[in-house]
Amino acid sequence: DIDKQNVRDLVTRYFGGLRRGPDVVRPHVVTPPITAERRVVVRDRVELPRVFMGWLTPPAYQPGDAELMVAATILGGGKSSRLYKSLVYERQIAQDVSASQGSLGLASTFVIDVTARAGHTPQEIEAAIDAELTLLRTEGPTAREVERARNSLETSLLASLEKLGGDGLAEQLNHYNLYTGDPGYLDKDLARLRRIDAAAVQRAVQTWLPQQARAVVTGVPGKPKVDDPRAGKATPTAPAAKPVAPVNVAEAWRATPPKAGPAPRFKQPRGETFTLANGLTVIHYRNPALPLVSSQLVVRSGGAANPSDLPGLAGFTAQMLEEGTATRSAPAIADDIAQLGAFMDTGSSDDVSTVSLLALTSTFARALEIVADIVQHPTFPAAEIERQRQDRLGALTQQRDDPETVA
C-alpha cells in the first residue's frame, strides 16, 4: 500500500545528506562463565512458588544456538514438551512450564521457568526439572522430538513475517542485519534449523546446560525480600559520557515538518465464499506471500449462552475439545499437532466459540484432519475434566498476582 519509489526518494532526501560519523570500534567483550551454581531466593506477595533456572549459552547464530532452540522446544514448548507432560499433565505438580533460548549478541541465556501448583514445593519442582535434564543429557532426544521441534520453530519464524512492524518483517530484517550482516539471512536460518539432529541437540545440552554452571532463582510467597549474593560488593560506576557533535546537515528546510500526503484508499480483500455438502459456509482468502495457512472454525454460540448456574461452561467445553477423542488421547492430540509444526487453539467469547489452526502449507491438510476429529468426536473423559478443573482453579489463584485483574 505504498509507492516504493516515493519512499526511496523520501529516504534519500531526509537521510542521504547526513554526514557519516566516526567509525565505532566494537569492543571485545568476554562474558565471564558461571563456574559454580548460584542460588537466590526471592520472597514476595505471590500466590504460588516459582522456579527459574538459567544458563549462559552461545551468542546468536553461533554453533550451539540453534541446537539449544530445539532443546528448549523439546523441554518446554507447549503440551507436547517433556516438562509439560511430566510436571503438568502426568504428575500435576506444576501449573505451567516454559523453556527458551534467548539468543543475544555477546552471550545468550537458556531459561527454564516453572510455576508450582498449590500444595507443591520449589524443591519438588526443581527435582523434577533436574530429572528431565539428566535424561536429556544421558539419552538425548528422539528423532521424532527433534523433527517436531524443528517444524514448530519453522512455522513460528515464518508466521512472524506476516506483519510488518513490531516483531514482524522489518524487525527480522534488522535482526539478521545486526547479528549476521545479511538482512536476507532467512533461507540460511531455516537451513541451520533443518540440519539439526538428535545427536547435535544432546551434545549442546551436555556442553551448555550442566548443573554446576547455572543460576537458580526461587520465588516464594512471603514478605518481600531478595537474598542478594552480591551483597557487600561495591557497585561499579559508569564513566561520564563524552559530548558528541550532532551529525545532521544544516539545511533550513529541515526545520519545517513535511506535510502529510493524501490518505490511502483501503481496498477490502474479497474472499471466495462457498458452502460444503454438510452446510458449512467457508470464506477463503488467498495470500501467497508465505507458505502458511491459517483457519478458524466459528460456531455462533459462546459465553452469553452459558446457564446462569454454570458460568464459564462455553470456555471450559471449548478447552475440553483438545483433551481427547474416540481415537486420540490428550497427549496424542498435542503430539500430532506439534509433529506437523502446527498450532491449534480452542476458546470462546461472548458470542462465538472457535477452533483456530495455523500450519505450514505442506502440512495443513493433515492438521485439519485433527481439527475435524476434535470437533466431531470429542469424548470429554472424566479424568481430563477433573484435570482441567484443577488447572482452572490454579489459574484463578494466579490471577491474584496480576494487578490489572485485581483492579
CA dihedral sign of residues 356, 359, 361, 363: negative
Please spell the DSSP secondary structure of 208-262, one letter per residue. H--GGGEEEEEEEESSSEE--TTTTSPPP-PPPPPP--------GGGGSPPPP-P
Of the candidate ranges 74-83, 379-388, 395-404, the one whose mean pLDDT is the lowest:
395-404
Residues sharing a CB contact under 8 Å with residue 113, sequence separation 6 or more, in sequence order: 50, 51, 52, 76, 97, 98, 99
- Determine the Cα–Cα distance for residues 336 and 366; give it in Å rounded to an integer: 9
Question: What is the distance of C-alpha 235 from the center of its chain?
Answer: 34
Does the domain at residues 272-398 carry the CATH identifier 3.30.830.10?
yes
Strands (E), 259-321: 272-275, 281-284, 292-299
Of the candidate ranges 6-20, 269-283, 291-305, 368-382, the one whose mean pLDDT is the lowest:
6-20
Residues sharing a CB contact under 8 Å with residue 347, sequence separation 6 or more, in sequence order: 315, 318, 319, 353, 354, 356
What pLDDT shows up at residue 381? 96
Which residue stretches of 251-329 are H helix? Answer: 313-320
Q: Check whether 364 has a pLDDT greater than 80.
A: yes
Band the pLDDT of 68: cuts 50, 70, 90: very high
Band the pLDDT of 111: cuts 50, 70, 90: very high
Q: Check whether 269 has a pLDDT greater than 90.
A: no
- Phi, psi torsion values for 277, nearest 5 degrees: -60, -25
Domains 38-226 and 272-398 share a fold: yes
**Kind and range of the H or E run holding 103:** none
Q: What is the pTM of this model?
A: 0.87
What pLDDT shows up at residue 276? 93
Question: What are the grid coordinates assigned to 243, written together?
Answer: 559530548
Instruction: Characterise 174 by phi-psi region: left (phi > 0), alpha (psi -120 to 50), beta (else).
Output: alpha
- Determine the Cα–Cα distance for residues 64 and 200; give it in Å rounded to an integer: 8
Q: Check whether 106 has a pLDDT greater than 80.
A: yes
Contact 197, 191 (CB under 8 A): no
Contact 42, 176 (CB under 8 A): no
What pLDDT shows up at residue 238? 72
Q: Per-residue pLDDT averaged across 263-291, rounded?
A: 90
Contact 72, 131 (CB under 8 A): no
Q: Which residues pair with 358 in a beta bridge?
A: 294, 343
- Phi, psi torsion values for 335, nearest 5 degrees: -65, -45
Pairing of strands 214-221, 38-44: parallel
Q: pLDDT tens, 4-21? A: 898 899 889 888 888 887
Band the pLDDT of 227: cuts 50, 70, 90: low
Question: What are the grid coordinates assigned to 191, written together?
Answer: 537451513
**Which of helix, strand or coil describes residue 382?**
helix
**Kind and range of the H or E run holding 266:** none
> Domain spanning 38-226: which CATH class is it, in words?
alpha beta
Q: Check whether 350 has a pLDDT greater than 70.
A: yes
Domain boundary assignment for the chain = 38-226, 272-398
What pLDDT shows up at residue 228? 66
Which residue in 144, 48, 122, 135 sits closest to 86, CA to CA? Answer: 135
Band the pLDDT of 229: cuts 50, 70, 90: low
Q: Check whether 299 has a pLDDT greater than 90.
A: yes
Contact 173, 55 (CB under 8 A): no
- Determine the Cα–Cα distance for residues 260 and 76; give it in Å rounded to an integer: 48
